[in-house]
Structure 1
């Protein structure tokens, strides 16, 4: 079965060949200097646009989720609830779960933020992002800084490698006390149960690669109402501020 990634083998090979290409010092210095300024410009734009958005929750999940899927409906519902409870919504700005979350926020006239990444198969953000709150990034690591700095919580719906990357990034930063301890809510017990069992039985019990208290870094729920309640209960005790 074909998918949207089938036509990019040539681009992948080109990047591998480029990594092994010999370059002289002037070429290295010129290229790397340009990258430094590009990274700085992305940080500056992100800080300027997001510094005044107020308390927000990041919603993550698969870009491949169709609009008729139950996961899409849950993302839309929980984002609308988050807005009604005083939060804005931040997503990766793409289709699928991200689109659903922005759509739910927009339906309640809430803050709908899109931190978009420039990819061959995602050329632009979804239509439900506030025009003044859409940012395009070339670099994943800059984008992830914006998620963690300006979010007061993560809600993670079913997704693939990108979603797992964002989930484990957040858990690692909290575990190592690099950012404040904010709520991470996984929605969909059936979807996440296998991963949770592996974390508990393999990482903790078999190999002792995490501590027992690390299992408290996240909460597993099954619907939008439970997800929003977790965040409300947590922040009823704290002042909402950026995480670092």
Structure 2
């Protein structure tokens, strides 16, 4: 009996190779003659945006399925927070002080990954934005623990290259912020947020809004560094104003160390 997934038609790669061997004529040089799926000019047209959105959703998701990734622990945090050994090069005294959270992110990722590897390595896989700072720390800790990790890069005006610690086969690059955000949360079993800037705040509030509005199931949601977060956001004022409910303040909790975070996640899962 034939494998139902076997191909009875010529595959796309064969036809691309064949199309390159045809005679060079005005007709074959015409953009109209290019195979649609191999025509970058066509695929980048404005009208093809829905197709490109679908491709970004599919490519990453298919790779995750093929790698057997069942769940992730997502780390958000600032790209500008240096490793402790580079703290003296920080652009501000505050960033220098925040370098301790690079180390906590690295230690937290190590601890999560060791637990993951002990259970097969496909659950609670560390997932970051794949860039520098806290993101690098998360991927670094996972690599040092002997596990895999995910990096979801995005093309920026000043290119953000993936850090050296992301598992190469799980290093992705996105054009659409919306699709990238979906991939951060589709398999998230816990969300951990370190000090950061606009990008970190955006990711944090979007995830909190999805949980608040019950568009996403509740997961352990941890903010590293109470002093930082209570300085930049007056959480209680939001509740006092009535723009959020008092119970919305229970959607997240503050932690200071990797050990605190592991304990908080374990408590949350036990009480779920």
Q: TM-score range by the shorter chain?
A: 0.7 to 0.9
Higher relative contact order (CA 8 A, sep 6+): 1
Q: Distance in 2 between matches of 1:147 and 1:76?
A: 19
Aligned-residue CA RMSD (Å): 1.5
User: Quick one: which of 45, 49, 67 aligns to 2:59?
Assistant: 45
The answer to whether the Cα contact below 8 Å between 1:50 and 1:150 also exists between their aligned partners in 2 is: no
Distance 2:71 2:187 in 1: 8
Aligned-residue offset at 1:139: 0.8
Q: Contact 2:53/2:176 (CA < 8 Å) preserved in 1?
A: yes
Instruction: State the distance in 1 between where 2:221 and 2:135 align.
Output: 17
Q: How does 1:30-69 map to 2 (within 5 A)?
A: 31-51=45-65, 52-68=68-84, 69=99
Taking the aligned partners of 2:177 and 2:142, their CA distance within structure 1 comes to 24
* Cα pair 1:94 1:122 within 8 Å, conserved: no
TM-score (norm 2): 0.72
Structure 1 segments of 4 or more deviating over 6 A?
none
Pick from 72, 76, 85: which aligns with 2:115? 85
Counterparts of 2:176 and 2:187, CA distance in 1? 17
- The residue number in structure 1 matching 2:100 is 70
Contact 1:116 1:136 in 2 (8 A): yes
Q: How far did residue 195 of structure 1 move?
A: 4.0
- CA-CA distance at 1:32 after TM superposition: 2.8
The equivalent of 1:24 in structure 2 is none
Q: State the secondary structure of the residue aligned to 2:188.
A: coil
Tell me the matched-pair count: 206
| Cross-structure match for 1:118 | 155
Between the aligned partners of 2:168 and 2:109, the Cα distance in structure 1 is 18
Aligned-partner Cα distance in 2 for 1:85–1:237: 20
Q: CA deviation at 1:143?
A: 0.3
Tell me the SS of whatever aligns to 1:234: helix
What 5-or-longer segments of structure 1 have no aligned partner? 1-29, 239-244
TM-score, structure 1 length as denominator? 0.80
Gap runs ≥5 in structure 2: 1-43, 85-98, 117-123
Cα 1:162–1:127, aligned 2, differ >3 Å: closer, same or farther?
same
Asked if the contact 2:114–2:146 (Cα under 8 Å) also holds between the matched residues in 1, the reply is no
Q: Residue 178 of structure 2 corresponds to which residue in structure 1?
A: 141
